[in-house]
Structure 1
Amino acid sequence: MLEAYFYELGWMLFALFFGVFMGSLTGIIPGFHVNNVALILLALSPSLLALGIPLSAVAGIIVSTGTVHTFLNYIPSALMGAPDADQALSLLPGHRMLLSGNAARGVAWSARGSQLGLFLSLPLIVVARIAFGPELGWYDQLRTMLPFILLVISALLLATETTRLDWPEWMQKMSRGMFGTDSRFAGFFTATAFFLLAGLFGWTIIGPTSLPAKSPIDMPGASLLLPGLAGLFGIANLLDIYATTSHLPPQKENWDLPPAKPLLVPCFWSGVAGASMGVLPGMTASQATVLVMGGRNVVAKVQGKTGYGMDWETRRLTEMTDDELLEIAKAESDEGVEGPQTKQDLEIIAILSAVNTAVTVCVLGFLYIISRSRSGATLALKAMYPVDTWNDLEPTADFIRLLAITLAAGLMAMPIMRYVGKGMLRLHAAIPLQQMIMSVILFVGALVFVSTGFIGLSVLIVGTMIGLLPPRLGIRRSHAMGVILVPIMILMFKNLVDNAGFL
C-alpha cells in the first residue's frame, strides 16, 4: 500500500517538474504553444505507455505545461512583441512598459495577476459543478444557446470599437458624418469587416474543407492554426516593431510584486469571465478581458465615478495616438512615479494575465464536470483516456491529482517568471533589438515549416498580411480572433439546424 503511494507520488512529481520545464519553453518561445506539446504527447502516448510511463503522468505533464505557459507567455509579448492569441491585448501596454524602461514592472504585475487568477478560479469550479452538474444540469439548456451567446458576445466586442481613421471627405458627406473621424459607427463597420475577413481566413485553415497540413518530417498534430495565429498576432507585431523601434532604453530593476488587495476585485471578475469563456468554445482571454474592463467602466459610470474600464480603448483610439500615450508613459517613468497611464497599463496586464490563467484552470474543471474539452490540452486529455466525470459530491481522484499539479506548477512559475524576465532583459541589452526581432521571425518561420511544411508557410504569410491591418485601420487586434470564432459559429448554427448534436 505504501509502496503504491510513493510510486504514484513519484510520477506526480516527475510530471510536475517536466511539465514546468516544458511550460517554460512554450511560454517564452513565440509560436510554440502548449497545444503542440499536448498533441505530440497524445501521439506518443502508446510508446510512452510501453516504456512504463503511466498515462496519468502524461496527463500531469500536459496540465503542468499549460499552467506555467499562462504565467510566462506574457514575456514574449512584452519583451519581444510576439504575443499568442491569449496575450494579444497585452502588446500595446506591454510595449509601452518596455519602451519606457518599466518592463520589469509589467512582468511583476503579470505574475501577480496570474497568481490571483489561479487561486480565485478555484471556488468558481465548485459553483460551476453545482450549476452544470447533474443536480441543476444547466449545461443541457445552455448548449442550444451557445451559438447565439457567441454571436451576441462577438457583436458586443465589435460594437465597442472606435476608429480614428481620416475617412475621405466624399464618404463623410455621403454618410452624413457616420464615417467621420473618431466615429463609433465607422469603428463597428471596420471591425466587423476585419472580423469577417479573419473568419474567412480561419475557414480555409480549420474549416471542414480546410487546406491539408502535413509536416515534412512527419511531426504529429500538424495544424494550420499554428501558422495562422503566429502570423496574425506574432509576425505582424514583430514587423511593426522592427519598422518603428531601433533601440531600447535602460530598464529599471524593479521586480517587486504589487500588493494583491487592490487587484482582488478585478481579478475575481477576471476569474468569472475566464469561467464563462471556459464554457464558450472559441472565446479567449483577450475577449474576456475586454468584457471585464467594459463591465468595470459601466459600474463606475453608474456610481458616478471615472473608471478605467474601456477608457483605455477609447482614449487610445480617439483622444491620443499610440505615440502620445508612449510619451506619457516615458514622462511618468522619468518622474519616478506610476502615473495614471502607467497604472492603467499595469492593471490591464494584470487582468489579462488573471483571465488567461483562470481560463486554463476552469477548462480543466469543465472537462470533468460536463465532459467537454475547450482547449487543445483538454482535448488531448479526453482523447488519451476515459475521463471520470465529477457526478458525486466528492471530486474524482484523477481531477484532484491534476488540480494539485496545477496549483503546484503555478507556485513554481512565479520565481521562474522573474528569472526568465531578467534573462530576457539581459539578452535585450546584449543583442540589438532589430537583430533579435529578425531572429525570432526566422525561428517562427522554421518552426512553422517543420510542423506544417510549405502550406504552413503560405498560411503564415497570409496571416501576417491580415495581421498588419488592425493598427492601420485603428481597431483592436483582438478582432482577429474571428479566425476561430467565425468557423465555430458557422458549424454550431449548421449543426443546430441539422440537430446533429455538435455540442
Structure 2
Amino acid sequence: MMIEILLGVLAGVILGTISGIIPGVHANTLAGVLVGLQAVFLALLGPVALACTLFSALITHTFVDAIPSTFLGIPDADTALAVLPAHALCLEGNGEEAVRIAVLGSACAMVIAVPLSLVCFLLLPALQPWFDWWIGILLIAAVGWMLVTNDAPLWGLAIFLVSGILGIFALRYAFLGWHTLTGSNAILMPLLCGLFGISGLLTASRGTIPEQQFRGIRIPDRMVARSSVLGTAAGIAVGWLPGLSTASANGVLASVIGYDRDRRAYLLATNAANTANAFIGLAALFALERMRNGVIAALAELPLPSMGDLMVAGVLAACAAYLITVWLSRSAHRIGRLDNLLLNHVVIAFVVGLSILLTGPFGLLVLILATAVGFVPRLINLPAVYCMGSIMIPVMLWSFGIT
C-alpha cells in the first residue's frame, strides 16, 4: 500500500507542477485527462496510486501556481485576486519574495487544515442543512462591508452587479463551450483571466521588468500567524460549504485584509485558503459525498483508498511542492530586463489560445466581455475585488434557491 501511495505522490507532484506552472491551467484540466484515460491509468498505476496521483496533483498545483501569478500576472481560477499583490511585488523587483510568501501560506495551511479536516469530518455533517441556507447571508454581509468601507460605494456596487450578471451568463450557458476534458467549470478560466489577468496586462506599464532580488520575507511573524489562520479558516469554510469556491474566499478575505494595503499578508492568506480548500474538499467527499472541485469529482469516480491514505499523500505532496516552488522562484532573476510589453503580449496570446482550446468560441466571448468589465475598476481607480461579483452573485442566488 505504501509503495502505491509513494508512486501516486511522485506522479501527482510531476503533473501538478506542470499544471501549476502553465498560466491559466487548473489541476481540473489534468483531472479531466486522467479520468478520460481512466482505464489506461488504472492498468498502469492501480486504483490507490491513481487516486493519490489526482489528490497529490491538486495539492501540488496550489503551491506551484504562485509562479505564473507572480511573474506573468495571470491568475489561476482559485486565486484570481492574489495575482494583484503578487504581480505588483514582482514589478518592484520582489517576485521571489512574493512566491515564498505564497508557499509559506500554503505550508501553514497544510499544518492547520489537516487536523481540522478530520474534526470537520466527524462533527459537521449533522449541521449541514443549517450551513446551506446561511451561505448567501454571509456573502451579502461581506459585500456590504466592502461597499460601506469604500470611497465610491455606488461605483463599487455597479461593478459588482455587472460582473455578477456576466458570471451568471457565463455559468448558465457554459454548456455552449468545449469542455469534454475539463468539465463545465472550465468557463471560469476565461471569466477570471479576463477580469483579473488580461485587463491588468493590457494596462501595464511599458519598459523592462525590474531586476529581481530576494531580500528575505518581509512580513512579521505575528502577521504570518494571523494571515495563516484567517486564510485557512476561509479555505475550510468555502471547501465545506456547498456552492462556494476559493475565489469566494478571496473576496471575503479582501474585506478583512486589504490586498492593496497589506499586500504580503493578503497574498499569504489567499494561498493558505487555496491549499486548505483542497484538504477540506477531501473531507467533504468522504463525509457528505459532495464534490467541491473537478479533482474531487474525478476522485469520486474511482475506487478510493481510505481518507487517511489520501491525507498522507497530500501532506507528502505539499512538502515536495514547497521545495519545488522555492527552487523555481530562485530563477526569478532570469526574467529581469525582459521587455514587459512583449512579455505581456505573449502571455495574453497564450491565454486567448488556451481559452479557445478549452472552451471554444463561447469561452473567447466570455474572455472579451470579462476583459472589458475588468478595465472599469482600473479606469476609475477602484479595487478590482468588486469584480468578484462574477462568482459571489451566482453563489448567493444558489443559496436562496434561485437557480
Q: What is the distance in 1 between the residues matched to 2:4 and 2:220? A: 36
Q: Which amino acid aligns with 2:366?
A: V
**How does 1:279-358 map onto structure 2 within 5 Å?**
279-285=240-246, 287-289=248-250, 291-292=252-253, 309-310=257-258, 344-358=262-276
Whole-Å separation in 2 of the counterparts to 1:149 and 1:229: 22
Q: How many matched pairs?
A: 402
Question: Where do residues 450-489 of structure 1 align in structure 2 (5 Å cutoff)?
Answer: 450-489=357-396
- Supply the AA of the counterpart residue of 2:394: P
Greater displacement, 433-442 / 400-409 = 433-442
| Structure 1 stretches lacking a partner, 5+ long | 1-7, 164-181, 296-308, 317-343, 388-396, 497-503
Determine the C-alpha separation between the residues in 1 that align with 2:177 and 2:254: 37
Q: CA deviation at 1:405?
A: 1.0
What does residue 129 of structure 2 align with? 140
Counterpart selection for 1:449 from 342, 350, 356: 356
Q: 1:473 to 1:39 in 2, by over 3 A?
A: farther
Distance, in Å, in 2 between the alignment partners of 1:430 and 1:156 is 41
Alpha-carbon offset, residue 52 of structure 1: 4.2
Report Cα offsets for 1:199-258 as digits up to 9, x if no partner.
222222222x5451126xx656364332222222222222122xx242222221346697
Provide the residue aligned with 1:232 in structure 2. 195
Shift in alpha-carbon separation, 1:159–1:140, aligned structure 2, 3 A: closer
CA contact 1:112–1:257 (8 Å) conserved in 2: no
What is the rounded CA distance, in whole Å, between the counterparts of 1:47 and 1:474 in structure 2? Answer: 52
2:27 touches 2:58 (CA, 8 Å); kept in 1?
Answer: yes
Inter-partner Cα distance in structure 2 for 1:57 and 1:257: 39
**How far apart are 1:477 and its partner, in Å?**
2.2
- Equivalent in 199, 208, 226 of residue 247 of structure 1: 208
What's the RMSD between the two structures over aligned residues? 2.8
Q: Give the Cα separation in 2 of the matches to 1:233 and 1:55.
A: 38
> How far off is 1:431 after superposition?
3.5
1:269 aligns with 2:230: yes
Q: Which amino acid in structure 2 is aligned with residue 74 of structure 1? A: A
String of CA shifts for 1:260-313, please: whole Å, max 9, x gaps: 665224312322221111123443445435645755xxxxxxxxxxxxx44x65
Counterpart of 1:385 in structure 2 is: 302
Alpha-carbon shift at residue 116 of structure 1 (Å) = 0.4
The more displaced of 15-24 and 51-60 is 51-60
Distance 1:435 1:119 in 2: 40
Candidates 9, 13, 36, aligned match of 1:43: 36
Counterpart secondary structure, 1:494: coil
Distance (Å, rounded) in 1 between the aligned partners of 2:109 and 2:193: 25
Aligned-pair distance for 1:399? 0.8
Tell whether the 8 Å contact from 2:190 to 2:355 is kept in structure 1 after alignment. yes
Matched, 1:366 2:284: yes
Which residue does the alignment assign to 1:30? Answer: 23
1:193 Cα deviation after fit: 2.4
Q: Which amino acid aligns with 1:361?
A: F
Structure 2: gaps spanning 5 or more residues: none
The answer to whether the 8 A contact 1:247-1:433 is kept is yes
Kept in 1: contact 2:136–2:400 (CA 8 A): no
Distance 1:480 1:256, change over 3 A: closer
Aligned equivalents of 2:273, 2:385: Cα separation in 1: 15
Change over 3 Å in CA distance of 1:24–1:260 after alignment to 2: farther
Query: Alignment partner for residue 161 of structure 2, among 196, 217, 227?
Result: 196
Distance, in Å, in 2 between the alignment partners of 1:386 and 1:481 is 36
The answer to whether the Cα contact below 8 Å between 1:204 and 1:211 also exists between their aligned partners in 2 is no
Alignment equivalent of 2:115, drawn from 123, 128, 131: 123
> CA, structure 1 residues 225+258, in 2 after alignment: closer, same or farther (shift >3 Å)?
closer
One-letter identity of the residue aligned with 1:66:
L
Q: Determine if contact 1:157/1:287 at 8 Å carries over to the other structure.
A: no
What residue in structure 2 maps to residue 419 of structure 1? 327
Give structure 1 regions of 4+ aligned residues with deviation exceeding 4 angstroms. Answer: 255-262, 289-295
Bigger radius of gyration among the two = 1
Residue in structure 2 matched with residue 65 of structure 1 by the alignment = 57
The structural deviation recorded for 1:198 is 2.0
CA deviations on 1:33-85 (whole Å, 9 max, x unpaired) are: 11111122222213433x34323322212211111111122222221111224
Q: Give the percent of matched residue pairs that are identical in Structure 1 and Structure 2.
A: 28
TM-score when normalising by structure 2 = 0.89
Return closer, same or farther for 1:425/1:444 CA change in 2, 3 Å cut-off. farther
The superposition leaves residues 394-444 of structure 1 with CA deviations (integer Å, 9 ceiling, x where unpaired) of xxx521111111101110111211222223441x13642222211111111
Moved more, 372-381 or 400-409: 372-381
Are the aligned partners of 2:238 and 2:244 in contact in 1 as well (CA < 8 Å)? yes
Q: Retained in 2: the 8 A contact 1:195–1:479?
A: yes
The 3 A distance-change label for structure 1 pair 255 and 14 is farther
- Structure 2 distance, partners of 1:412, 1:255, is 21
**Contact map agreement 2:36 2:181 (CA 8 A) in 1:** no
